[in-house]
Amino acid sequence: MKNSLLLMMLILQYPLLSQIPVTDAATNGSLGLVNSQLIQNNIQLKAMNKNLLRLIQLMEKNNRITTNSKDILQEELEAKKKTPSYVLQSSDVSQNLNLKSQIMDTYRILRQTVQQYDYLTSKEKQEFLRFVTEVILTTKNLFTQGQHTLTTPSLLPPGERLNKIRNINADLEVLLKKLQEYGDRLAQRNALRKSKRSIIQLNEPQ
């Protein structure tokens, strides 16, 4: 009986013992597959890391380029806000200063001269003073516009600054011409009246 039980146990355990190598082989195969997948994943991760590193480097390079571009653009903007020396030293700017000086000098001379004209009426002299006052105020405003054009920090190209100065100069030339013509008319009027007065005095009986 005991021999039968022992034999039975051996028979039952035999299939279990015979499956161990099979189970180990399957496990090894699974581990090999997993290892293979891990290796592939590592390769893919390395490739992704490499690509990511390149992407980061490109982004950093682009950032540097963008930063440099912004710096250059900022420098260009700042440069446009300033009037170049060749504009400040141009003949147009010199003419602007000269025209202002000519108008002021002509005004001072005429104001003194007209007051000495004995053959002009008080009304004529008052009209002259109102006219020259308007000329001086307009000259001052135009000259102020010119200075603002040359010194303003706004984005104004050099060529546009020069064009504005030229236009102001044209207006100043008109004012100077009007002032000179007005003075000439008063001088002629005074001289004519003086001449007539002299003729009358000559014809008066002594």
Q: pLDDT per residue over 15-52, tens digit each?
A: 444 444 545 555 666 667 767 777 776 777 677 667 76
Query: DSSP per residue over 135-162, as a string?
Result: HHHHHHHHHHHHHHHHH--S---HHHHH
Q: Which tens digits make up the pLDDT trace of 56-102?
A: 776 666 656 555 555 555 555 566 667 888 999 999 999 999 999 99
Burial of 2 (0-12, 13-18, 19+ CB in 10 A): exposed
pTM value is 0.62
The reported pLDDT for the residue numbered 42 is: 72
* Structure tokens given for 54: 């390149």
Q: Rounded to whole angstroms, how far apart are CA atoms 41 and 148?
A: 70
Q: What is the mean pLDDT of the chain?
A: 80
What lies within 8 Å, CB to CB, of 56 at 6+ separation is none
Q: Amino acid letter at 124?
A: E
DSSP 32: H
Q: Rounded to whole angstroms, how far apart are CA atoms 90 and 79?
A: 18
Contact 107, 132 (CB under 8 A): yes
Contact 150, 87 (CB under 8 A): yes
DSSP 206: -
